[in-house]
Amino acid sequence: MISKSIESNREEINRIFNESSDLVLYEFNTLSEDRALVVYIEGLIDNKVLNEDLLKPLIQYLIIPQDILSTVFISKTKKISSIQEVIQPITDGEVILFIENMELAYIFDLNKWENRAITEPGTERVVRGPKEGFIEDIKVNKVLIRRKVRNSKLVFEDYTLGVQTNTKISLAYINGIVKQEILDELRRRIQEIQIDSILDTGYLERYIEDAPRTVICTIGHSEKPDVVVGKILEGRIAIICDGSPDVLTVPKVFIENLQMADDYYSRPQYATFLRILRLFALITSVVLPGFFVALKTFHQEMIPAKLLVSMAKNIEEVPFTALVEALLMILFFELIKESGLRIPNNIGTAVTVVSGIVLGQTAVQAGLVGPIMVIVIAIAGISEFIIPSQREMIVIYRLIILLLGGFLGLYGIVCGISIILVHLISLKSFGVPYMYPIAPYDKEGMKDFIFMRSVKETNYRPRALSNKKAIKRNEIYDKK
């Protein structure tokens, strides 16, 4: 219970927060000559509003302590009667007011802190379309979504996770379009999470994904509000985490890896060409090094004669097998890529370019690798960056296919690709087949697959994702 004594409340708050240096306890007298105490965390509140809209009216106009709500005009004001109820609001950036001889306290929502500016995400740049991106503040991210879906059926459902961090999590979906079974399953998984801290959506991803041991991500993520809203409108659920600019979306299907935001702002024919190019890049990045090593090691008869003669000249100078050559080049490439990510931006590009040129050219001149192998690995590496969301999968599967090609030839590559395809077909994301709309086949879903149709022709939402009563677009549906 909250004590009538200001001193007792002060001592209890200090004890709970271990007399932290950023905890502010400001005591003053009101016009009624009753002592008052405000408690807040320094840096988490709007000091101007605190002084002008809370402290000034209390000091100058409060005659009767019970008339606080008639004296202070601040929205989101709550009364509490337990000292334990003030802990979470204080850490959330709210102000607590205690009045002498009153066994209750008031909570005022005055939180405000510095945020990063809303800018275009570095990993999801578009030529045409919105340039804004999510930031680390969950309130701002909610507003960015709400601005695009001005609809009363858009719902935000809040949770608090993390024993130590008490991180705010919010689910965003459109009531009536979302599939109730998927929503219930997501709620169940989130409620079962028992973790010490949540610092990013990556923590959540490990707890709610269907197949945590696979390298294929079955949960979508994006930093662009228009992308997230587009998925919500198809029946998916967005998961927003305070402190992270990445917003998760579930369920996820394979085709999302090939779809980009500006596909829907471009001509369908050009968007189709780009999707085919991305699919080619995905296959090339995974298969090309292993395929080349298999041909060079076991199937020389499949290589054109002139190219084979050129390769034979280089083989004489290289002391390693084709498999070792490829492994060395992939290792060099991964080192350059990782160093480019960690080095400061002002020198990262220069170091990456110089390292690539020096290592590649010097390795060829020293006879460690052949020039064709450098070209093959470079093509595979460049193709990887066309689909950055699947970088982890590409790197792992590239190595697997390379080893299979190096030891078993084309037979090993065919077996490896077959296993990968079977694995993809077997995956599900919250009950939705990962390879939808191919397996199972859906004629309407194929209109937004590789060969993209215009917006006018896509009359249906994905059947596997959305509520059956709201599958058809541009149709008024009941809340039920």
Q: Are residues 46 and 186 in the same domain?
A: no
Per-residue pLDDT reduced to its tens digit, 132-150: 999 999 999 999 999 999 8
DSSP state of 50: I
Closest residue by Cα to residue 25 from 77, 78, 86, 68? 86
DSSP string, 140-193: HHHHHHHHH---TTEEEEEEEE-TTT-EEEEEEEETTTB-HHHHHHHHHHHHT-
In a domain, residue 259? The reply is no
Q: Are residues 162 and 86 in the same domain?
A: no
Vertex 330: Cα angle to 328 and 336 (nearest 5): 105
Q: Are residues 283 and 408 in the same domain?
A: yes
Range of the domain at 232: 138-252
Average confidence score pLDDT of the chain: 85
- pLDDT for res 366: 66
Closest residue by Cα to residue 43 from 22, 27, 26? 22
Instruction: Provide the Cα torsion 309, 314, 316, 320; round to 10°.
Output: -130
153 contacts 175 by C-beta, under 8 angstroms: yes
More confident: 204 or 471: 204
Measured over the CA atoms of residue 262, residue 266, residue 272 and residue 274, the dihedral's sign is negative
In a domain, residue 460? The reply is no
Helix (H, G, I), strand (E, B) or coil at 25: strand
Q: Are residues 325 and 241 in the same domain?
A: no
Vertex 77: Cα angle to 74 and 82 (nearest 5): 150
Q: Which two tokens stand for residue 268?
A: 């369908």
- pLDDT for res 352: 64
Per-residue pLDDT reduced to its tens digit, 361-417: 767 666 677 788 888 888 998 888 888 888 889 999 999 999 999 999 999 999 999
In a domain, residue 124? The reply is no
- pLDDT for res 347: 61
In a domain, residue 293? The reply is yes
Helix (H, G, I), strand (E, B) or coil at 1: coil
71 contacts 54 by C-beta, under 8 angstroms: no
138 contacts 168 by C-beta, under 8 angstroms: yes
Q: Are residues 238 and 319 in the same domain?
A: no
Q: Nearest 5°: phi and psi at 351?
A: -65, -40
Q: How many domains does the chain have?
A: 3
- pLDDT for res 448: 81
Whether 479 shows a pLDDT value over 60: the answer reads: no
Q: Are residues 85 and 163 in the same domain?
A: no
Q: Are residues 298 and 383 in the same domain?
A: yes
Helix (H, G, I), strand (E, B) or coil at 96: strand
Residues 6+ apart with CB under 8 A from 251: 182, 218, 236, 429, 430, 431, 432, 464, 465
Per-residue pLDDT reduced to its tens digit, 82-96: 888 888 889 888 999
Q: Are residues 284 and 245 in the same domain?
A: no
Which of these three, 252, 283, 310, is where a domain ends?
252
- pLDDT for res 357: 66
Range picked from 17-31, 361-375, 414-428 for highest mean pLDDT:
414-428
Average pLDDT estimate for 119-135: 85
- pLDDT for res 480: 45
pLDDT band at 219 (very low <50, low <70, confident <90, very high): very high
Whether 189 shows a pLDDT value over 90: the answer reads: yes
233 contacts 264 by C-beta, under 8 angstroms: no
Give bridge partners of residue 78 from the DSSP assignment.
107
Instruction: Return the percent helix, strand and coil in the chain, to nearest 5.
Output: 50, 15, 35
Q: Which two tokens stand for residue 330?
A: 């992939």
In a domain, residue 415? The reply is yes
Q: Are residues 16 and 86 in the same domain?
A: yes
35 contacts 54 by C-beta, under 8 angstroms: no
Nearest-angstrom CA–CA distance, 323 and 314: 15
Average pLDDT estimate for 447-456: 80
Least-confidence region, from 128-137, 149-158, 163-172, 441-450: 441-450
The continuous run of DSSP H or E covering 240 comes out as strand 237-241
In a domain, residue 466? The reply is no
Q: Are residues 245 and 270 in the same domain?
A: no
Whether 235 shows a pLDDT value over 60: the answer reads: yes
Least-confidence region, from 41-45, 195-199, 331-335: 331-335
More confident: 369 or 231: 231
Q: Which residue has the tokens 């400001």?
A: 26
Q: Are residues 421 and 384 in the same domain?
A: yes
Q: Nearest 5°: phi and psi at 168?
A: -85, 130
Give bridge partners of residue 429 from the DSSP assignment.
432
**Alpha-carbon 290 to chain mean position:** 31
Q: Are residues 305 and 421 in the same domain?
A: yes
Residues 6+ apart with CB under 8 A from 11: none
- pLDDT for res 293: 92
The continuous run of DSSP H or E covering 459 comes out as none
In a domain, residue 20? The reply is yes
Q: Which two tokens stand for residue 261?
A: 């935001």
In a domain, residue 363? The reply is yes
